[in-house]
Amino acid sequence: MSTVHDFDVETIQGEKKSLSDYRGKTLLIVNTASKCGFTPQFKGLQALYDKYRDQGLEILGFPCNQFGNQDPDSNEAILEFCSLNYDVEFPMFAKLEVNGSGAHPLYKHLRSEAPGVLGTTGVKWNFTKFLVDPDGKVLNRFSPKTTPAELEDAIESVLDFEPA
């Protein structure tokens, strides 16, 4: 059975990154967009990162332009936007597709492991969030309407989990 740790991605700076580097960390994986009604969630995501990173939380942001053309800029412009407007310090990755035939293998895995409402697998919109345990197992999917602050209990329960 594969886990999130079995996938490679590209950083927003264009470097290859193995998600196995995050083994032992709780992950919140989010498809982001810079020109979306949910874009202010970057502030809440950064607040979660500030609060929980020393306890083992990593937030991984993946820009996506598949929903309403809301992230059309280059990776460099996206990174600058996130840094200047929301002081984002959590890792951001190269723009990718989350749905369709061009969907990144990571997102195919996330969607199959944590289906949405009524078992749908497609990601519905920007800022869909996937919570992953330190072993790379996908635990849950949260809708774009779920604010980062509403994720604290779920994140804390994973951070507090002690494997046998």
CA distance 82 to 100: 26
Helix (H) or strand (E) holding 60: strand 57-63
Summarised one tens digit per residue, pLDDT across range 22-81 is: 999 999 999 999 888 778 899 999 999 999 999 999 999 999 999 988 888 899 999 998
CATH architecture of 4-154: 3-Layer(aba) Sandwich (3.40)
Helix H or strand E segment including 47: helix 41-52
Confidence of residue 1 (pLDDT cuts 50, 70, 90): low
With residue 105 as reference, give the H or E element that holds it: helix 105-113
Q: Is residue 90 scored above 80 in pLDDT?
A: yes
Structural domain boundaries in the chain:
4-154
pLDDT tens profile 100-152: 999 999 999 999 888 776 667 778 889 999 999 999 999 999 999 999 999 99
What residues pair up with 140 in beta bridges, in sequence order? 131
Which residues on adjacent β-strands are paired with residue 32? 63
pLDDT at residue 164, rounded to an integer: 42
Distance CA 126, CA 123 (A): 8
List active site positions. Answer: 36
Interval 5-32 mean pLDDT: 96
Residue 163 clears pLDDT 70, i.e. is over it: no
* Residues 127, 109: Cα–Cα separation, whole Å: 17
Is 110 within 8 Å of 62 (Cβ atoms)? no
